[in-house]
Structure 1
Amino acid sequence: MTTAHVTGAARGIGRSIALRLARDGHDVAVSDLAGMAEALDDTRKEIEATGVRSVALHGDVSDPASVRALVQDTATELGSLDVFVANAGIAQTKALLDVTPEEYDTLHAVNGRGVFLCYTEAARQMIKQGTGGKIIGASSIAGHKGFGLLGIYSSTKFGVRALTQAAAQEWAEHGITVNAYCPGIVDTQMWVEVDHDLGEINGVGEGESMKAMAEGITLGRVSTGEDVAAYVSFLAGQDSNYMTGQAALIDGGMLFV
């Protein structure tokens, strides 16, 4: 039995990933901010209903001590850490000229430093265990193409791609693969908020911005959390053993790179 940890698992893509990994047979630790405790515990209960073990942990991925505790508590409670999914992230929809230095720092603290901390702490634990592992991070289509009004968010997701490539090279000797997933428009609360903010900026109604963007999706629909989770399932399993340093698009055909 292998153990996975998924950050940002109280809702959205993280919740879908955690449930999919549980159905795949992994024991799954889930984490999120303390303010998401009730929703996170619901995720834990759903995981346990599949017949595997789970633990719900609270932590802030931007804080080194917090991430260290998440990793250590996972290994202590569930016996090991074999798969780590650095999923937690935040978005901002704002023109670059209106972004404050404080807002820039906040996005990079969560989406950039948070992934760095999760990657490195997970790697330390896996190296100590001596049995290799799978480290998986959340990038985005915005990590392949910078988007107007999502400029700072895009810069964080480009950073995840670079970090993934570097980590893959450094940790291969320990049997650790490092890959990222790059969703497009996903039917989650984060994208509802992005749609709302874009609507206010562009003077259009609720849902219109997402509808306009969805028209450019080759497969004709926005994705679900389950679409993304299916790819993460592959990255967490044995079939991806010869794949590392990659950041694949799961966007229904929005970008072709």
Structure 2
Amino acid sequence: MDLKGAALVTGAARGIGRAVALRLAEDGFDVALNDLEYSKGDLEALSQEISLKFRKTIITLGDVSREADVIRMVDSTVQDLGGLDVMVANAGIVSVVTPFPDTTIEDWDHTLGINARGIFFCYKYAAQQMIKQGRGGRIIGASSVAGKQGYATITPYAASKFAVRGLTQSAAKDLGPYNITVNTYAPGFIDTPMLTALGDGLGGAEAYKAKRIQQTAVRDIGKPEDIASIVSYLVSKESHFITGQSISVNGGIYFD
């Protein structure tokens, strides 16, 4: 496998996705940047930053929960960057914070549609392209600590992240013979706009973050770059014997 090829990162406009895109560019990859239409300005700014690292970028807008959009993202990456060697299916949302009995079917379908079906589409069409290329590849998805241990008030989110782990393990079995590894990262509390929004929904972002910091073994909150460093390793030559794994980056919220 040529470890310096093209990568596609979904949900790249901010937070973990943005940090991952920058790190992959630093590692020598050309990067296709995906997010929703309203994030175009943020993606353009990120593209300019990556160009300073002398890597090519393209912007491919679209909704990962729509199959046609994901097909177009992959096709655009292949056409403009010469192939697809790394797929980072990062895009996701956090559920409306509500007790399980009050969870609506609309919230369930919306969350699972993006966090589970969206990653399924990304895995599927990346795998098809990588098999066609015949040079292996790396597929990486976004799970969560909530995909290993359920949490109150975010049932659809936790269910979606458990689904990503099962999808990853099954895909790893099927794709191993093609020299394609499939793994996930499972963040704990990472200082991102999503965490801030979750904290606001629970009465105040700063108080929420302070509370969560006290629950970690290292008494700190993670940064997007902490996840990007795991992705950097998972796409490296050294990680060729790691597949089907969900790697916790959680500061010791719990140990698994």
TM interval, short-chain normalised: over 0.9
Identity of aligned residues (%): 44
Report if the CA contact (8 A) 2:31-2:57 is conserved. Answer: yes
Say yes or no: does 1:67 pair with 2:70: yes
Q: Which residue of 1 aligns with 2:35?
A: 32
Structure 1 segments (4+ residues) deviating >2 Å: none
How far apart are 1:171 and its partner, in Å? 0.7
Query: For 1:22 and 1:197, how far apart are their aligned partners in 2?
Result: 34
Say yes or no: does 1:23 pair with 2:22: no
- Of 76, 85, 89, the residue aligned with 1:82 is 85
Q: Which residue of 2 aligns with 1:58?
A: 61
CA RMSD of aligned residues (A): 0.8
Say yes or no: does 1:213 pair with 2:212: yes
Aligned counterparts, 1:191-230, within 5 A: 191-199=195-203, 205-230=204-229
Report if the CA contact (8 A) 2:198-2:205 is conserved. Answer: no
| Secondary structure of 2:34 counterpart | strand
**What is the TM-score of this pair, normalised by structure 2?**
0.97
Query: For 1:46 and 1:95, how far apart are their aligned partners in 2?
Result: 41
Query: For 2:93 and 2:109, how far apart are their aligned partners in 1?
Result: 12
Aligned counterparts, 1:62-211, within 5 A: 62-92=65-95, 93-199=97-203, 205-211=204-210
Report if the CA contact (8 A) 2:6-2:85 is conserved. Answer: yes
How far apart are 1:24 and its partner, in Å? 0.6
Q: Which residue of 2 aligns with 1:202?
A: none
Report if the CA contact (8 A) 2:6-2:86 is conserved. Answer: yes
Letter in 2 for 1:80: G
Query: For 2:208 and 2:56, how far apart are their aligned partners in 1?
Result: 40
Query: For 1:220 and 1:214, how far apart are their aligned partners in 2?
Result: 5
Query: For 1:182 and 1:44, how far apart are their aligned partners in 2?
Result: 26
Query: For 1:28 and 1:251, how far apart are their aligned partners in 2?
Result: 27
Query: For 1:167 and 1:234, how far apart are their aligned partners in 2?
Result: 20
Is the alpha carbon distance of 1:206 and 1:129 closer, same or farther for their aligned partners in structure 2, counting shifts above 3 Å? closer
Q: Which stretches in structure 2 are left out of the alignment for 5+ residues?
A: none
Q: Which residue of 1 aligns with 2:249?
A: 250
Deviations 1:130-182 (A, max 9, x none): 11100000000001100001111000000000000000001111110000000
Query: For 2:113 and 2:16, how far apart are their aligned partners in 1?
Result: 20
Is the alpha carbon distance of 1:206 and 1:11 closer, same or farther for their aligned partners in structure 2, counting shifts above 3 Å? closer
Query: For 2:169 and 2:205, how far apart are their aligned partners in 1?
Result: 38
Query: For 2:150 and 2:60, how far apart are their aligned partners in 1?
Result: 33
How far apart are 1:48 and its partner, in Å? 1.1
Deviations 1:21-52 (A, max 9, x none): 00011111110001110001111111111111
**What is the TM-score of this pair, normalised by structure 1?**
0.96
Query: For 1:252 and 1:211, how far apart are their aligned partners in 2?
Result: 14
Deviations 1:83-124 (A, max 9, x none): 000000000122112211011000000000000000000000
Q: Which stretches in structure 1 are left out of the alignment for 5+ residues?
A: 200-204
Query: For 2:46 and 2:159, how far apart are their aligned partners in 1?
Result: 30
Query: For 1:81 and 1:142, how far apart are their aligned partners in 2?
Result: 29
Query: For 1:240 and 1:138, how far apart are their aligned partners in 2?
Result: 18
| Secondary structure of 1:32 counterpart | coil
Query: For 1:124 and 1:81, how far apart are their aligned partners in 2?
Result: 10
Query: For 2:49 and 2:248, how far apart are their aligned partners in 1?
Result: 28
| Secondary structure of 1:52 counterpart | coil
